[in-house]
Structure 1
Amino acid sequence: MQIGEVAARTELSLRTIRHYEETGLVVPSARSQGGFRLYTEADVARLTVIRRMKPLGFTLDEMRSLLEAVDRLDSGGELPPEERKELLDRVRGYEEAAQQRVADLRTQLARAEEFAATLREHLRQDAASAGTP
């Protein structure tokens, strides 16, 4: 599929996808005869992982590190036990970091909702004292 379809499916801009290509996070699987980037389902899945990591504050280097570990684990080849353990430990570390960041975001969201509720209450009180609904 071409970059426009990938952008629509991943909810990433063309510019962002090109940036991830420039940084080596994703590489189009092929090029058309006209030179257009062509992507596979695996490329879309990779971009989806990146899109999910971004709001959690993971850096490009962290994204690259996780993707490299997952690529090695999914390569289908037999890995030496020590390397497999190291890769699984890396993925586990990212999973734990993601869980912590999600918890932190939930706390921030709760505080933001409390703040909005406080403002609504002030507006209600002001409206009540002014005699307006």
Structure 2
Amino acid sequence: MEDKVKQKFSSYPDKIKPKMEILRDLIYEVAKNTEGVGKLEETLKWGEPAYLPSQTKSGTTVRIDWKPKSPDQIGMYVSCNTTLISTFRTMFGDDLNFEGNRAIVFPVDKPIPKKQLMICIQMALRYHLDKKT
């Protein structure tokens, strides 16, 4: 983890850090097990931890964050210029909560729905590859 990302994770409140680490681990797990994605670049974009398949350019950037203005939720963000959130809504509208056309949000006091989220992460990391087919 690069220093500025480490600093960002250290800045999260103690009750938020474990959730953020779960999200980060899920992103890496999905990337490792998804054909065509390759190695991820981890950085900050808009002050948020961001993960992008830099070598293969297979997908869109996935960002995660907790914000003090919404202290009861954490989010996973994708580019609003994609159709991903619309697709996720169709697939998981009963299981996940969304914010506009850019985020899936999770209550901090509930377990993260890993099964659904892993599918969403995979679709984001393969967005450009799958869009071509």
TM-score normalised per structure 2 = 0.30
The answer to which structure, 1 or 2, has the higher relative contact order (CA under 8 A, 6+ apart) is 2
Larger strand fraction of residues? 2
Larger helix fraction of residues? 1
Which structure is larger by alpha-carbon Rg, 1 or 2? 1
